[in-house]
Amino acid sequence: MEDQILALTADLAAVKSAAQVTNTMFAEMYYYVTIPLMVLIHAGFLLYEMGATRVKNVLSSGVKNLLAFAFTIAAWYLFGWWFYWALPTWPLDLAAGAGYMEISGIGYANAIALPWGDSAQYMGPNMADNASGVFWGAFALFAATTASIASGALIERIQTVGFVICAIVLGTAAWGIAAAWGWHADGWLVTEFGYHDFGAAGLVHAVAGFFALGVLINLGPRVGKFNADGSANHLAGHNMPLTVTGLMLIIVGFFGFLMACIILPGEGWSWYADKGTTIYGTPMTLSALAFNVPLAAAGGIIGAWVVTRDPFWMMSGCLAGIISVASGLDVYFGSTVIAVSMLAGMILKPCADWLEGLGIDDAVGCVTVHGTIGLFGVMMLGILGSGIPGLGAFAPDDTVAISIWGQFVGSIVMFLLGFVPGYVVSWIISKAGMLRIPDAVQERGLDAVKVPARAYPEGMASPESES
């Protein structure tokens, strides 16, 4: 009998060990898969922006996009990852010490997020660590996505290296700090204000959109965009099908982006042994996304169709629909999502027209789709989700719930985290002569001047250019 109990105990231990290995490998695979899915966002951005560009500048736009992707990922490895872990409590705690959950602060970041010294064990191959790499990879793609969002607004007149510097600042510093403050269980916006932004409407989209606005003010419009009387001309891109397909690919990538925002159960780093959660430790399922993301996409398309009948704005509406409910994708009911995302699709074009009326040449409506609708989404959760706990059951007793006030404070912070760095960095770059491409070069076409290849060597050219 005793022997049988011992044998059963050994068998049970073996089964538990095997189950844990399966759970660990599933979790590793789950986050790993989000990475190529998010690369699809960049494939989409590439098509989208090249399609929205005139023939004479097509490849130049592509080069800019590829470099933003590449440099942001490298910079995220070198210092962006450190920002995210180091700064959740700063500046409320000027020393940037650890927060309540003790997974933040400069000391913690120095131990796990620097590619040198003892910390290097978490920044490269390590058989004892199945988590750091896949989390880093997912966050690197979040960073690259944030940087690439701003790219479309600036096409056809921003210099390449000047843009890359902007992208690095946006993707690593601005977004890294925004995520530390509003997308981390120790983040002060979360603990002090109950800020909730599951799908990053504020801390990715609004930050990127308003960063773009800051740059646009210093960059100025494309040659020929505005007439002497201030009226605007429509500078149509050379390939609408490319643009619309690119937008749809971005939506595909969004599924990866959003699934990466879920914390799986049963691992040492999980919030719970048996329940999936948001990054804040509040309960949620992947099924919530399966309901709400397609519904949001549908609502956005329909809303934009009602107002515009234009496929470009319908696909922009699709993006806007998802962004408008991103903050509360974990808690919204499906019908709520349809209503909110349709509204976002409807207000999109009028908001973009209003911005253009102010003399801002946002080539693809980036400021509106990501900035305005991003903040709209953050505030909608304040209106529709007030009173929902902002952190999971492990949180301190005085944790603040989601509220209109908290979401409003978060909106202001996200606006400033985007706009101020965007304006300041582009101003400095402009003073260094590295921001705006000279008007004569714009007229001639960027590809002819600085790209050793032709987009369509057998035909198709802008009438006024050499490309």
Partner 1 sequence: MGYFLDNFAELMDADGAWIDIGMFIGGAGSSAAGWWTVIATVMLIGVLVKGNSDEQDHYK
Binding residues (CB under 8 A) for partner 1: these are 71, 74-75, 78, 115-117, 120-121, 123-128, 159-162, 164-165, 433-434, 437-438, 441, 449-450
Task: Give, for 278, the enclosing helix (H) or strand (E).
Answer: strand 277-278
Quickly tell me which residue has 């398309």 as its tokens.
301
Q: Which is nearer to partner 1, 160 or 336 (CB)?
A: 160
Least Cβ distance, residue 276 to partner 1 (angstroms):
29
d(CA 460, CA 463): 9
Q: Which is nearer to partner 1, 162 or 202 (CB)?
A: 162
Least Cβ distance, residue 110 to partner 1 (angstroms):
13
d(CA 351, CA 332): 25
Neighbouring CB atoms inside 10 A of 111's CB total 15
Torsion, Cα 50 61 297 198, to 10 degrees, reads 160
Token pair, residue 259, equals: 């699934």
The answer to whether the CB of 47 falls within 8 A of the CB of 137 is no
Provide the 3-class DSSP secondary structure of residue 189: helix
- Of 455, 191, 172, 204, nearest in space to 323 by CA: 204
The answer to whether the CB of 177 falls within 8 A of the CB of 386 is no
Q: Which is nearer to partner 1, 126 or 233 (CB)?
A: 126
Q: Which is nearer to partner 1, 123 or 284 (CB)?
A: 123
Least Cβ distance, residue 121 to partner 1 (angstroms):
4
DSSP letters along 7-23, please? HHHHHHHHHHHHHHHHH
- Of 200, 143, 137, 142, nearest in space to 167 by CA: 143
What amino acid occupies position 181? W
What amino acid occupies position 172? T
Residues 6+ apart with CB under 8 A from 325: 199, 201, 292, 296, 332, 336, 337, 340, 341, 377, 380
d(CA 188, CA 39): 30
Least Cβ distance, residue 401 to partner 1 (angstroms):
42
Q: Which is nearer to partner 1, 411 or 426 (CB)?
A: 426
The answer to whether the CB of 259 falls within 8 A of the CB of 289 is yes
Provide the 3-class DSSP secondary structure of residue 443: helix
Q: Which is nearer to partner 1, 25 or 290 (CB)?
A: 25
Angle at 193 between CA 415 and CA 287, to 5 degrees: 85
Least Cβ distance, residue 70 to partner 1 (angstroms):
10
Least Cβ distance, residue 458 to partner 1 (angstroms):
25
Least Cβ distance, residue 411 to partner 1 (angstroms):
34
DSSP letters along 312-375, please? HHHHHHHHHHHHHHHTTTTT--HHHHHHHHHHHHHHHHHHHHHHHHTT---TT-HIIIIIIHHH
Least Cβ distance, residue 226 to partner 1 (angstroms):
22
Angle at 401 between CA 269 and CA 287, to 5 degrees: 55
Least Cβ distance, residue 71 to partner 1 (angstroms):
7
Least Cβ distance, residue 66 to partner 1 (angstroms):
13
Least Cβ distance, residue 430 to partner 1 (angstroms):
14
Quickly tell me which residue has 């900035």 as its tokens.
371
Task: Give, for 262, the enclosing helix (H) or strand (E).
Answer: strand 262-263
